[in-house]
Amino acid sequence: MPKPTPQRASGAPPTDALIQALMEDAEAGALLVEPSGHVARSNPSAERLFGLGAAKLLGAAAADVVRTVVAGDDVVREAFRTAQGEREAVLQTANGGEVPVRVRTYRFGKPPWVLVTLHDLTQMRRMQQELRRHERLATLGQLSAGVAHEIRNPLAGIGTSAQVLLKRFEPRDERARFAQVILEEVARLDRIVTSLLQYARPRTPELRSSHLSECVDKVIALAADRIAQAQLRLETQVAPKLAPLYIDPDLVTQVMLNVTINAIQAMPTGGTLRFEVAKVRRKAPPRGPGRRADDHGARRAGGPGWIEYQQVRVIDTGVGIPRGVLAKMFDPFFTTKSTGTGLGLSISQTIMQEHGGSIAVDSREGRGTTVLLNFPLEKRNGERRQHDARTERPDAAHRR
Ligand SMILES: Nc1ncnc2c1ncn2[C@@H]1O[C@H](COP(=O)(O)OP(=O)(O)OP(=O)(O)O)[C@@H](O)[C@H]1O
Ligand SMILES: [Mg+2]
């Protein structure tokens, strides 16, 4: 191809109006390149992709615009050489950004014109990464369940034997202390194994008509010692006249307890622990393929365009959560604590999904954290769903 010259070729491609219409409408970026190698037309998607206005694109040497990160790679020259082409590339945009794209080229007419279309793959790459991450986590869960199962029996044997030994020694005997250490460590391992199994093989919720406020009361009772020890101020606010929900109160209590213990642990130097229970209305997301099937029932409960939930907020005034942690806190085994298993939130998330609900976190570093537990209002939304809820992402690692 000759080096492009600044003058633009006269004449128009044969299917001008058709191409114009298609380009205007296309989600992919499209550039029409005239025989001299200059851009004759661009569409809004291409302008967004390259970060250049139509005025800058028009008349520019296409090879200068469609640049990839690979030195010497000339997509446009290649396009003039072949009738049709398709490949993936990483575009270098005007502002120094890099965008993964699928490039398709079509040569037509005599002298040859070229149409270059560019599909932004950023979103798809992100989804692929997400999918791989979920697959990895699901495998990890299954694997650890297998290991946990195998560990359980020998662990029970060690525990029983240590118990027998402990009884044989005088309390003052140093060996009794060792037996005691074995017992304590066995108990710790047993807790981890139980959590692991619970994460990998959650039990089916047994739904019955219950009030969320009852679960809150139970959690406060269960955590009373810790709350007192940490010298926390306790506040609760329950909205009046909330209808009962179909939930498994034991499992929901467990979720709230996990979240509450996290909140308490986040306030080592005191603070306020607050529980709120209320009905919330949220604008329904726009209809689209990403819409969850169970939005439908809840949508009707709040009228068209609205989704209604009962929501429990567990609020702390603790250390807050740094951005990097927010993204990973629902991953199994992710913990920032020396004695944590990192399974508390993973289990909680699974339970919430089994209830057709969701868990979300909103946090400000140094100020505190709010965990939102959303329960759908209709009974059938609380029923266990068929697919493996664990492979879904949390509704939000933070409020989005
Ligand atoms: N309220 C909170 N404030 C600050 N950080 C939090 C809060 N809740 C969770 N986190 C962060 O999220 C991480 C994961 O929490 P998760 O409950 O899953 O595990 P864990 O508390 O570390 O261990 P485990 O729950 O098994 O004892 C925590 O280690 C902590 O860093
Ligand atoms: Mg925890």
DSSP state of 93: P
**pLDDT of 11:** 58
**pLDDT of 388:** 37
Residue 52 alpha carbon to ligand 1 centre in Å: 44
**pLDDT of 227:** 97
Is the Cβ–Cβ distance between 337 and 272 less than 8 Å? no
- Cα gap 216→308, rounded to integer Å: 20
Nearest to 382 by CA among 359, 356, 358, 349: 356
Ligand 1 contacts (CB < 6 A) are 258, 262-263, 266, 316, 318-319, 321, 325, 329, 334-337, 340-346, 369
Q: Which atom of ligand 1 is nearest to 371's Cα?
A: 1
Nearest CA residue ID for atom 9, ligand 1 = 262
Fold of 16-120: Beta-Lactamase (3.30.450)
Higher local confidence (pLDDT), 71 or 273: 273
DSSP state of 38: B
Please report which residue ranges of the chain form alpha helices under DSSP H.
16-25, 44-50, 54-57, 62-65, 75-81, 122-168, 174-200, 212-222, 224-229, 249-265, 295-301, 323-328, 344-354, 379-382
Nearest to 355 by CA among 254, 220, 239: 254
- Choose which residue among 345, 359, 372 to substitute to test ligand 1 binding: the one with the highest number of ligand atoms within 8 A of its C-beta: 345
Residue-wise pLDDT for 94-150, tens only, equals: 777 888 899 999 999 999 999 999 998 888 877 887 788 777 777 877 787 788 888
**pLDDT of 26:** 81
Nearest CA residue ID for atom 10, ligand 1 = 262
Whether 223 shows a pLDDT value over 90: the answer reads yes
Higher local confidence (pLDDT), 92 or 315: 315
**pLDDT of 127:** 83
Residue 262 alpha carbon to ligand 1 centre in Å: 5
**pLDDT of 290:** 38
> What ligand is nearest to the CA atom of residue 347?
1
- Cα gap 88→85, rounded to integer Å: 10
Q: Is the pTM of this model over 0.85?
A: no
- Cα gap 195→398, rounded to integer Å: 24
- Cα gap 260→345, rounded to integer Å: 11
- Give the residue extent of every domain in the chain: 16-120, 125-200, 208-285+293-391
Residue-wise pLDDT for 342-393, tens only, equals: 999 999 998 998 898 999 999 999 999 999 999 988 655 444 443 333 333 3
DSSP state of 369: E
What's the whole-number mean pLDDT along residues 235-254? Answer: 95
Residue 335 alpha carbon to ligand 2 centre in Å: 8
Tokens of 89: 């590339």
Whether 170 shows a pLDDT value over 80: the answer reads yes
> What ligand is nearest to the CA atom of residue 266?
1
SS3 56: helix
User: End-to-end distance of the chain based on CA atoms, in angstroms?
Assistant: 49
**pLDDT of 304:** 60
Nearest CA residue ID for atom 29, ligand 1 = 335
Q: Which atom of ligand 1 is nearest to 340's Cα?
A: 23
Tally of CB atoms within 10 A around 271: 20
DSSP state of 389: G
Residue 335 alpha carbon to ligand 1 centre in Å: 6
Residue-wise pLDDT for 10-39, tens only, equals: 555 556 777 777 777 788 999 999 999 999
3-state secondary structure 301-313: HCCCCEEEEEEEE
Average pLDDT, the chain: 83
**pLDDT of 245:** 94
**pLDDT of 254:** 94
Whether 396 shows a pLDDT value over 90: the answer reads no
What's the whole-number mean pLDDT along residues 201-218? Answer: 92
Residue 326 alpha carbon to ligand 1 centre in Å: 10
Residue in the structure block whose two tokens are 């697919």: 387
Nearest CA residue ID for atom 22, ligand 1 = 335
Residue 316 alpha carbon to ligand 2 centre in Å: 14
Nearest to 106 by CA among 127, 87, 83, 124: 83
Residue 373, beta-bridge partner list: 312, 359
**pLDDT of 395:** 41
> What ligand is nearest to the CA atom of residue 336?
1
- Choose which residue among 198, 226, 260, 262 to substitute to test ligand 1 binding: the one with the highest number of ligand atoms within 8 A of its C-beta: 262
Min mean pLDDT across 119-133, 155-169, 172-186 is at 119-133
Whether 289 shows a pLDDT value over 70: the answer reads no
Residue-wise pLDDT for 66-86, tens only, equals: 998 888 889 999 999 999 999
Residue 271 alpha carbon to ligand 2 centre in Å: 18
Asked: is 208-285+293-391 a CATH 3.40.50.300 domain? The reply is no
Higher local confidence (pLDDT), 307 or 262: 262
- Cα gap 265→325, rounded to integer Å: 15
pLDDT above 70 as % of the chain: 85
Whether 89 shows a pLDDT value over 60: the answer reads yes
Tally of CB atoms within 10 A around 123: 10
**pLDDT of 378:** 67
Residue 272 alpha carbon to ligand 2 centre in Å: 18
Is the Cβ–Cβ distance between 313 and 275 less than 8 Å? yes
